[in-house]
């Protein structure tokens, strides 16, 4: 029996706001039992608890702009050093600029790791605005709903807590358009940065979230099975 190499799942999701990357990332994390790390959620928590960081980033976030690369690098570096990331992680919302992509490569290289998967969520812009303006969040657990596609069982309430759902400050139409521009200018160039260097998988997320998650999970399973086969041939 060949010595089984440990499979790792260092994963990032790229995609415009509202492309479904958060939901897909969270489901993949639960499936693989590795942490789903949303930098947006981390920052929102800091704002909610008025930490130093929260106070510094609040205004930038409310305008739909990007938090400074150096702040983001430190935040992510600290998080990836925790023990629960040993088998991998699902990063959602980081990197968002070429500088952050380079920083992530450096952070991983320091512990002799590299990315295993880069998922790129593609969706048409009008569908995005429709999706985002209908997005609602549970302020207690962060669970995400959509008034069109992913409704709560009881109108306006989280399925897991009896708490009223809220709309994110930056999910209003004007801020959504601003966030799209920021995505096109800063984050889209990362797709070229990763092309040919990692397993880039483009996922059409116009489909239902279940279909999207199925594509993502199958990609991971196929990679695992290919690596296992190769190992057994040796």
Please report, as ranges, the residues that interact with ligand AMP according to CB under 6 A: 17, 39-40, 43, 60-61, 64-67, 72, 93-94, 96, 100, 170, 179
Q: Is 21 a catalytic residue?
A: yes
CB of 222 to ligand AMP, least distance (A): 28
Nearer to ligand AMP among residue 172 and residue 230 (C-beta)? 172
Cα–Cα distances in angstroms (integers) from residue 129 to residues 26, 32, 56, 209, in the given order: 21, 30, 28, 16
Q: Give the HSE-up count for residue 45: Cα atoms under 13 Å, Cβ half-sphere.
A: 10
Q: Is 230 a catalytic residue?
A: no
Q: Is 113 a catalytic residue?
A: no
Q: Is 96 a catalytic residue?
A: yes
- Greatest CA separation for the chain: 59
Q: Give the HSE-up count for residue 190: Cα atoms under 13 Å, Cβ half-sphere.
A: 30
Nearer to ligand AMP among residue 19 and residue 212 (C-beta)? 19
The secondary structure of the chain in percent helix, strand, coil, rounded to multiples of 5, reads 50, 15, 35
CB of 89 to ligand AMP, least distance (A): 14
Q: Is 73 a catalytic residue?
A: no
Catalytic residue (choose from 44, 79, 135, 136): 135
Q: Which residue is nearest to ligand AMP (CB)?
A: 40
Q: Which residues are known catalytic residues?
A: 21, 96, 135, 168, 179
């Amino acid at each position: 029996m060949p010595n089984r190499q440990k499979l790792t799942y260092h994963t990032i999701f790229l995609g415009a706001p509202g492309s479904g990357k958060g939901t897909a990332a969270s489901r993949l994390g639960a499936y693989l039992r590795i942490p789903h790390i949303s930098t947006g959620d981390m920052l929102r928590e800091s704002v909610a608890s008025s930490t130093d960081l929260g106070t510094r980033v609040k205004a930038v976030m409310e305008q739909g702009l990007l938090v400074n690369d150096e702040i983001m690098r430190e935040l992510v570096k600290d998080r990836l050093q925790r023990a629960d990331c040993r088998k991998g992680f699902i990063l959602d919302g980081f990197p968002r600029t070429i500088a952050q992509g380079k920083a992530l490569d450096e952070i991983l290289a320091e512990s002799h790791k590299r990315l295993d998967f880069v998922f790129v969520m593609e969706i048409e812009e009008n569908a995005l605005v429709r999706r985002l303006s209908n997005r609602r969040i549970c302020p207690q657990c962060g669970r995400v709903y959509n008034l069109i596609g992913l409704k709560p069982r009881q109108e306006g309430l989280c399925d897991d807590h009896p708490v009223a759902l809220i709309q994110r400050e930056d999910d209003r139409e004007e801020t959504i358009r601003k966030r799209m521009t920021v995505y096109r200018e800063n984050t889209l160039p990362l797709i070229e940065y990763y092309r040919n260097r990692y397993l880039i998988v483009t996922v059409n997320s116009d489909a239902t979230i279940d279909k999207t998650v199925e594509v993502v999970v199958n990609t991971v399973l196929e990679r695992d099975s290919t690596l296992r086969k190769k190992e057994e041939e040796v």
